[in-house]
Structure 1
Amino acid sequence: MNVAIIGAGLSGLSCADALAATGHRSALFDKGRGPGGRMATRRAGTVAGEASFDHGAQYFTARHPEFLKQVGDWSARGAASPWPEAGADAWVGVPAMNSVLKDMATRHDVEFNFNAKGLVRDGRKWLIVGDHESRGHFDAVVIAAPAEQSASILALHDFEMARAALLARSQPCWAAMFTFASPVPAAGNILRDRGAITWAARNNAKPGRAGLECWVVHANAAWSTAHLEESPGTVEQLLRDHFEAAIAAPLPAILYSVAHRWRYALSSGTGRGALWNEDIRLGVCGDWLLGPRVECAWLSGQELGARIAEAEIASMPLLGLRG
């Protein structure tokens, strides 16, 4: 079976892995410039050298036996490492959070900078419609995107899946990234729940990092919602002020700063691992279904990949022997 997967974040790549394990081919499409989704890493040039920021997910935990096995594999391959400072069971990608996604993406056909806007049914096959051109034909389609983005694609093809996506509301998060000329005088490398700031971390203190003094500051959901449509420049200045207040000391000279809006950062989850319509071979996976954790995104992709493979086996004609 030839499967198109819209979204090359963790759930999409996990689904591709599960399909590959049963002999099925996947083609992934992502509007971003590289793998990562909300596990992305941003790099920027400064007068002092290159700065690096994990500006989405800050770390992940592993509890499910299958995900523990996967994290162990990433660790053995040098793509992940424990980060005890964030928690006893906290892990990060090394040398950047998106390293695990890059490792996964090397095993699949991934097209970046392709904005999948919709689907067209052509007989029993699917076409993926982009801004200027289409891709196809595919036997099945998986949508591995945030709920709000999934809903618009699903609406014309499966009412129940579209309804589930519409009912799953995501909370936003504004992230600010700063590079400083000298160390920030904070009490530790992590700040939690300081007024408008839900999280701030010294990125260069994570395992496998080095170099410039780089901080990532996340605003809480309420503050992010209240300032959702502000310009990035305005948000960067506001979070700079909140950060300075949180450490109760003047910030060092800033070499680089920028803000990024994660419009669909966190979902409460629906408790369902994945959705699959065998009649039209259309499925959905993602953390908005199972829960707002990195592990949930991976498990959701695995579940959908397994369901697609099982459905394909069930649809095959039984072969008998005459004699």
Structure 2
Amino acid sequence: MRAIEITGGSGPAEALALVGRPDPVAGPGQIRIRVRAAGVNRPDLLQRQGRYPAPPGASDILGLEVAGEVDQVGEGVSRWSAGDRVCALLGGGGYAEYAVVDARHVLPVPDGLNMVQAAALPETVCTVFANVFEAGTLKAGETLLIHGATSGIGVTAIQMARAAGARVVATSRGADKARAARALGAELSLDARTDDLEAAITAFGGVDVVLDMVGADYAALNQTVLKPFGRWVVIATLSGSLAQVDLARLMMKRIVLTGSTLRARPADEKARLIAAVEAGAWPWIAAGAVRPPVEATFPLEQASAAHLRLEAGDHVGKIVLTA
């Protein structure tokens, strides 16, 4: 099969190469997917840079989410059959023509979605569900603040929060991105470069949950705008991981500060999460309430160009490879 391999070097043009690899074989409890599309995510960039190694047992090939057809079914798998249209959450291996995955980590492609759209779902929807709705316990009528609201995670979080009956406050860089977040459903959409975030969010009434992909630079803001019993969920630290936290303020407001990663979770925990996502979030997708926009697609052999596009930071939504 054709696959993208990390060969060394610092930039994507030097680090990523199209190579031939043996076709993987589905073992017990696994299926093999003929990959038609694969999502490109920020952890892929970090792994390419040597800052986010694959967990033990995972493929060294990049790619955390794919969509395609079931091509091979391993022993003990009863739900899936050859030809089924599926998308899947991977620990690695998505930048290839075939991927093997635990059959419990697979979801059906919702009716009406093509493979590119479906490949944009598993990693992002699972991340949002686990952090906003499980760790953050966002409820209907509450307000979610999303930093980095036009990223792949951000655009998905806006739509999922709205589908759940919550209000959304979004921050992003630039007026165009602020308009895009508003069009996706953010009730208050702020330009982080020019707007007074604290004043605007305070005037809006504060927030119940923060989905924070920025980290250090927004730590003080988050502590100020969270309401009593607020939940601050950190999933990335683009501005740095060392932040000043006023413990007295957390105590007085009864704020919960938490964080998580998805890739390194045990297989059983991922299976639990996939089942929860299928029950809780897949109906929103099937109904058309959640449709994460795809900013751009690139053929597999242009994975380096896809990485450059993601690194530039001017995208709105997901970037997807096609195989």
**What TM-score do you get using the length of structure 2 for normalisation?**
0.24
Greater Rg over alpha carbons, structure: 1
Q: Which has the higher contact order (CA 8 A, sep 6+)?
A: 1
